[in-house]
Amino acid sequence: MKNINDKKMNILTFDIEEWFHCDFISSDKNWSNYEVRIHKNTDFILDVLSNYNRKATFFILGWIAEKYPEIVKKIHAEGHEIGCHSMKHKLVHSMTPNQFREDTNRALNEIEKIIGEKVIMYRAPAFSITKDTTWAFEILNELGITHDASIFPAKHDYGGFPSFGDAKPSIIEINGIFIKEFPMNVRKIINKPIVFSGGGFFRLLPYNIIKRCCS
């Protein structure tokens, strides 16, 4: 793994999934029983981005693309980048390599048939690519993924990758294949990496702390 460069980057991404797609909320997967919020929330994000003339990368759950293709069409029509966020939000380390390949390929097919172009970006559910599942990068490469944003370079309830190294845009090399990696941001506090960005952290941390970490 090597860093791409040391220039500061401002990268904005969103995971397009329902609130109930977390396994600790709906492990039974009876998702039809839950309130649908994806349309309202996605429209809010798109309106804010439009007001500030900003573009972002949207990692789409294949389940969302299959059930609500109009959401994917709208995001794409407004000029945002489309990435893949798996089919049904299964953790990578809970699957075998073949299961991961099937899940990712199905999600890619659902998204690509809507936008009419190849998807090259991927983010694993809950950043669940770990040091023990780096085989996932080989499968992603096989499926045409060139850019990944799945690494959580600290401890995480769903895995994490504390030994990844610097939390900077990097190039991952494994068994002769290369993938550009955009890991989650961290700040070291008493020499311990602390993640400060992302939906859960934005809800918990005061804005002035997040702003200071981003500077």
- In this predicted model, what pLDDT tens digit does every residue of 64-96 receive, in sequence order? 999 999 999 999 999 999 999 999 999 999 999
Sheet holding 121-122, edge to edge: 2-3, 170-174, 177-181, 147-148, 121-122, 81-84, 57-60, 13-16
What's the confidence (pLDDT) of residue 197? 65
Please give the radius of gyration of the chain, using alpha carbons only, rounded to the nearest integer: 17
Start and end residues for every CATH 3.20.20.370 domain found in the chain: 2-184
pLDDT digits (tens, 9 = 90+) for 16-47: 999 888 765 545 567 777 888 999 999 999 99
Q: Using pLDDT thresholds of 50, 70 and 90, give the confidence band for residue 166.
A: confident
Count Cα atoms within 13 angstroms, Cβ side, for 13. Answer: 22
Angle in degrees, CA 186, 189, 190, rounded to 5 = 140
Nearest to 112 by CA among 87, 138, 78: 87
Selected from 3.40.640.10, 3.30.70.360, 3.20.20.370, 3.40.50.720, the CATH number assigned to the domain covering 2-184 reads 3.20.20.370
Q: Two tokens at 87?
A: 């089919």
Mean pLDDT over 130-148 rounds to 96
pLDDT reported for residue 148: 97
Euclidean distance between CA atoms 50 and 1, whole angstroms: 36
pTM for this entry = 0.86
CA distance 131 to 33: 36
Q: Enumerate residues 6+ apart whose C-beta is below 8 A from 8.
A: none
Strand partners, 192: 189
